Structures are given as C-alpha cells and as structure tokens.
Amino acid sequence: MQNVLKKDAKEHYDTIIIGSGAGGLAAGICLARAGQKVLILEQHDVPGGWCHSFYLNGHRFTPGVHYVGLLGEGEATNNLYRGLGIANDLVFFRMNPDAYEHVHIGEERFDFPANFDELIHRLSVRFPKEKKRIDKYLNLIRLVSEELYSMPYIKGFWQKLTLPYRTRHFGKYGLFSVRRVINWHIKDPLLKNILNIQCGDHGVQPRKAAFVLHSALMYHYFQGGYYPMGGGGALIKAMTNALKRHNGEIKTSTAVRKILLEGEKRKKAIGVQLENGDQLFANRIISNADVGITYNTLVGRDNLSARLTKKLDKTVYSCTSLMLFLTVDMDVRKAGLDSGNIWMMPNRDADDFYDEILGADIVKGDAFEGMFISCTTLKDPSSFDGKHHCIEAITFIDYQSFGKFKDEKEQRSQEYLEFKEKLTQKMINGLEKAIPGISNHIVHQELGTPITNEYYINTTDGNVYGTEKSLKHIGPFAYKAKSEIENLYLCGSSILSHGVAGASHSGVDTAAIILECHPDELKEPMEDQQLRIYEAEDPTNYPEWMLKKINVRKAKLQAREKATV
C-alpha cells in the first residue's frame, strides 16, 4: 500500500537531493551546514555515482576517478576540499611528475610533465620547427583559462566596463573548436595529436570540443595529476561524513520514480515519489541525476515548456564506454608502467579516428587501437598487496552497439554475455600493445558496458560525461542550475563542467543560488583543514601509519598464500 507522507509531517525536508554523485554531495554539505534539513537519495546501494568504488575479489576499482588537478597549495581543487571541510579526511598521491600522462600515438611516444615551462621546452626540443608556435599556443591556452577563471571576480561598474579587454582572449576564441584554433597555430600533425590527446577527457573529437573548455582542462593539469588514497570511494566517504556531521541524511538503494509537482500548470516542485510508492516532501529539490532522466522521466515532458522540450530533443549526450577492470600478477613496472596515465591511439588524424570508433561495428578488428590505461595500484601505493596490480582500461564507443540489450534486466541474455566476451578479448588485445605479456598474467577480469553504466549510474544511453561537451552544450548553452520548475534545481556534469572537480564545483554553485550567496563564500578554505599529499613514485616521506598499512596488506596476502600451500 502506498505510504503518503503529509507535507507538514516530521519527514518534511528543506532540500531533497536526487543522486549522490560529487555534485549532489557538495551541494548537500553546503546546505546542511547552513542549517537546512537535507536528504540525499541514491538509487545504487552505495553513494558516489561515477566516483564510487567497488571491489572484485578484494581488489578495488573506481570507474570515474582517474586523476584530479589543481591540488597544490592555493589552487582551486585544494581550496574546494578545504572549503567543504573534507581536506583533513583526504590523502592524495601525486602521480609521476615527469610523466603524469604518457602519450602513445602509433609508435611515437611523448610524456607530459607536471610543469608548464617544462612542457613547452620538451615539445620545442621534440618539434624544433614549431618552437615559436608551441610557445604561443600553450600561452594562449593559459591566458584563456586564467580569463575564464577570473570572470566571476570582475565586479563593480568600472571593472565590468573593462570586461571586454580583461577577457579579450576568451572572447576572441570562445566560439571556436579545438581543431579550428590549433590549426591556426600548429602545423605538424603529430604535434596536433599530442596536444589534443586530452580531448579524451571530454569524449569528443577536436572539431567538436570547445577550445575554451579544452583550455580549462589542460590548465587544470598543467601542474600535474593526483589520485586519492582509497580511490574515488575515499573522496565520497569524506563527503558523506561531512554531510552527516552537519546532520544531513543519505539513503542508498532508494530510487526516485518522479518529482512531485503542484500549483498552476504543475510548475512547482514539492517532493518526490520513490519507486516503492512512498512520498517525501521538501521546500526544494536538487537533481544531481542526468538531465535527460531528470526532465524526461522524473519531471515528465508534459510538465515542461515547449522551449525546454525542444532543447531536450536537440540535446546530444556524450559518448559511452567500455571499461575493462583487470587484476594481474605481473611486475607492471618492468613492463614500463608507472603512476602516470597512458593515452593510446593510432598515428592518424584524431577527428577521423574518433569518427571511426564512434560509428563502426565495434566487433570488427582484433584489438581496440584507442584506449586510456591506468594502474591504480601504482597511483595509490597503499593499495598494492605486493603481488597483484589493478588495471583500468577504457575505450569510447557509440551506444547503438548495445541498443538491442537496452531492456535487459539484471539477468543478462546469452547473446549479451557472448558479445561482452568478444569485446573483453578485443580490449585485452589492445592492452597487449601497451603492456606486452599482460594477457598471460590476468587473475580476474570484468568488463563494464553501456548497459552497466545505465544500471549502476542511471545515465541516458550510458553516457559518461553528461551532455556532449561540444560548443552547443556548454557555457550559455548548457542546462541551467535553476530550472523553469519553481523550487527545482540541478547540478552535475551537464550544468557547469564535467569531471570530479567540475561536478563538485557545480554542486557548490547550485547551493549558492539557493542560499543567495557567492560560491566562494561556501568554498572559503578553512584554516584547520589541510590536504595531505605524497609522491606516488617516492615512498621516502610516507608517514609511519601509511607504511604500516602497506606492510599489513602485503602480510595478509602472504598469510593467505601460505595457508593454501
């Protein structure tokens, strides 16, 4: 029988948040510490969305956290975590500063260093004929990013009067694609591919990726990448603990069926109805769910304006993916791996390659040529048991390849399982090119597909970055945090920006709109909050507690192996 909770009941909330991704949790923390009664509802059995961690045979994997930037003292992500009051609960490892990104383009190799000037120098040595153009292009990326980040702080009549001058580089290039701008500055095809390799962090071709967004992404990592000890799950644990410290609630395995509306033309959000029929009421609702799910399913198209439904019909979502999770018993360092990521693609035009992988029969060919490869046990040395390494490998695909399996429930068909097995082998064959011999050392393997993404994360067509990160879906063309439905707000990767940091900032921005303050007030670094950062490649300064943790993990494996002899 349906349990209806009256609006004046004890269970009435100030804010209900749908989805416990980084954005929803960040918003919840800000609102709860402002004194609001906050409830976060999560359909999965663990919080975190893309940032959650899971275990396979005792080994941890995280589908959506691969590296985070701007964690240095005084930098944006560091300030964000200190401002949210979660920094003391977090430990990060700095990935290889000499090569936080390894670029494999066919037989060509290049390493991205965690230093802007060194990047320019290294590229200039490799491409001496392009030296002046490299300097000009990368400094343009830096200037555009700095202008983008400065815009919220340009206040007052006289400052705003000079806005066109203060943001002249941003304004000049704001409506162009990465391909257009790089073609104006760089001539060498291989150099273009190296500089554009991080378009994989958007999941779109250079001709579609917005230059401004790509500039911000490259700027985010100019000083290198960091990985959280404990994976993405540790970040989520810190955020849920902060939420609870401020008396916020979070309920997992609690899916929302629809957002309840009332008023003239049903344009006012008053609560949610759960899958079990229960109704919960609140003064406002924040959806951290996918925008397509939010509007098309939870609100319902009949309750939307013609303008919004037209926008939804034209919305293109980001690509989806295959994610291969491997446990291997090999010395991956001898095979050439370290804590840096590997981006792998053939030595050909990046736009043509993306067009091919996002439109071809994905069973065709014996190996995936384009992959992102990450060894989390090297990024987080505390997770290494002395023998087994964890590998996460990702390739982008078009959802249509899995369209026929869309309506399958948890019990998968034999056709799906066989299809998945073929793709798993194709992924492993691709990995062999980067890590020779790995197929002989696989202890456990599991492939996540677009259907997996839909089941666990509940995104439209299993997309990995929300709306497509092309010019028509970002900035002024993105979905707004304050919806046309009264008391309904949104946050997440389709609102402000994608990625762990982008989604978190989005949650803070949405909370600031509700609290009628500037986001910086909610992100003001707390003096008693400090991030702990150690080197993934150098254990010299590891504290005693960390060394003990590493030794205990190794001892447990040795004890298990001895017991089975």
Interval 493-523: pLDDT, tens: 999 888 999 999 999 999 999 999 999 999 9
Residue 1's pLDDT is 30
Which helix (DSSP H) or strand (DSSP E) does residue 18 occupy? strand 13-18
Burial of 21 (0-12, 13-18, 19+ CB in 10 A): buried
pLDDT reading at 424 higher than 60: yes
Amino acid, res. 248: G
Q: Which helix (H) or strand (E) holds 179?
A: helix 178-185
Verify that 156 and 235 share a domain, yes or no.
Answer: no
pLDDT in tens, 14-67: 999 999 999 999 999 999 999 999 999 999 999 999 999 999 999 999 999 999
State the helix-helix crossing angle for 76-84 and 22-33, rounded to 10 degrees.
Answer: 50
Contact in structure between 298 and 18 (CB atoms under 8 Å): yes
> Rounded mean pLDDT of 225-230?
98
Beta carbons of 317 and 292 less than 8 angstroms apart: yes
The owner of tokens 């291989």 is 190
Question: And the tokens for 148?
Answer: 């983008």
Copy the structure tokens of residue 239. Answer: 């955020």
Model confidence at 166, in pLDDT bands (50, 70, 90)? low
End-of-domain residue from the set 220, 252, 271? 220
Residues 122 and 159 in one domain: yes
Q: Which of 165, 188, 220 marks a domain boundary? A: 220
> Can you read off the two tokens belonging to residue 381?
């040395």
Q: How far is CA 132 from CA 114, 119, 120, 183, in A?
A: 21, 13, 10, 15
Task: Write the pLDDT tens digit of every residue in 387-399.
Answer: 999 999 999 999 9
Stretch (H or E) spanning 122: helix 116-126
Say yes or no: 141 and 161 in one domain.
Answer: yes
Residues with Cβ within 8 Å of 347's Cβ and at least 6 positions away in sequence, in order, are 105, 106, 107, 108, 190, 193
Kindly state whether residues 263 and 284 are assigned to the same domain: yes
**Closest among 397, 354, 105, 103 to 208, alpha carbons compared:** 354
Q: Which two tokens stand for residue 274?
A: 């759960």
Number of domains in the chain: 2
28 assigned to some structural domain: yes
Considering Cα of 353, then 369, then 402, then 452, what sign does the dihedral take? negative
How far is the CA of 447 from the CAs of 11, 419, 422, in angstroms?
A: 40, 11, 11
Q: Which two tokens stand for residue 561?
A: 């192996």
Statement: residue 416 has pLDDT above 60: yes
239 and 212 in a common domain: no
Q: Is there a domain that residue 192 lies in?
A: yes
Quote the pLDDT of residue 476. 83
- Same-domain status, 130 and 195: yes
**Does 58 map to a domain?**
no
Same domain, 255 and 211: no
Which of 186, 220, 254 is the C-terminal boundary of a domain?
Answer: 220
- Domain with residue 517: its CATH number is 3.50.50.60
Residue type, 65: V
Give the pLDDT score at 9. 47
- Same-domain pairing of 511 and 485: yes
Q: Are 147 and 180 part of one and the same domain? A: yes
Rounded-to-integer distance, Cα 282 and Cα 285, Å: 7
Its pTM stands at 0.93
Q: Is 166 in the same domain as 261?
A: no
Q: Where are the beta strands (DSSP E) in 42-100?
A: 54-56, 59-61, 91-94
Note the pLDDT tens digit of each residue in 307-363.
999 999 999 999 999 999 999 999 999 999 999 999 999 999 999 999 998 887 888
Question: Looking at the structure, do residues 215 and 234 belong to the same domain, yes or no?
Answer: no
Whether 212 is in a domain gets the answer yes
Among 57, 59, 56, 27, residue whose Cα is nearest residue 40: 27
Residue type, 254: T
Residue 472 covered by a domain: yes
Q: What pLDDT, on a 0 to 100 scale, did the predictor assign at position 70?
A: 95
Instruction: Kindly state whether residue 260 falls inside one of the protein's structural domains.
Output: yes
Least confident residue range of 153-157, 184-188, 266-270, 558-562: 153-157
Confidence of residue 158 (pLDDT cuts 50, 70, 90): very low
Q: Give the contacts of 53 (CB within 8 A, at least 6 positions apart).
A: 60, 61, 62, 230, 231, 232, 233, 234, 236
Confidence of residue 81 (pLDDT cuts 50, 70, 90): very high
307 domain residue, yes or no: yes
Do 468 and 474 form a contact (C-beta atoms < 8 A)?
no
Q: Is residue 435 situated within a structural domain?
A: no
- pLDDT at residue 161 in the model: 47
- pLDDT at residue number 157: 46
Burial of 407 (0-12, 13-18, 19+ CB in 10 A): exposed
- Quote the longest CA-to-CA distance of the chain: 77
* Burial (CB count <10 Å: 0-12, 13-18, 19+), residue 424: middle
Residue 205, domain extent: 117-220
Does residue 308 share a domain with residue 247?
A: yes
| Burial (0-12, 13-18, 19+ Cβ within 10 Å), 564 | exposed
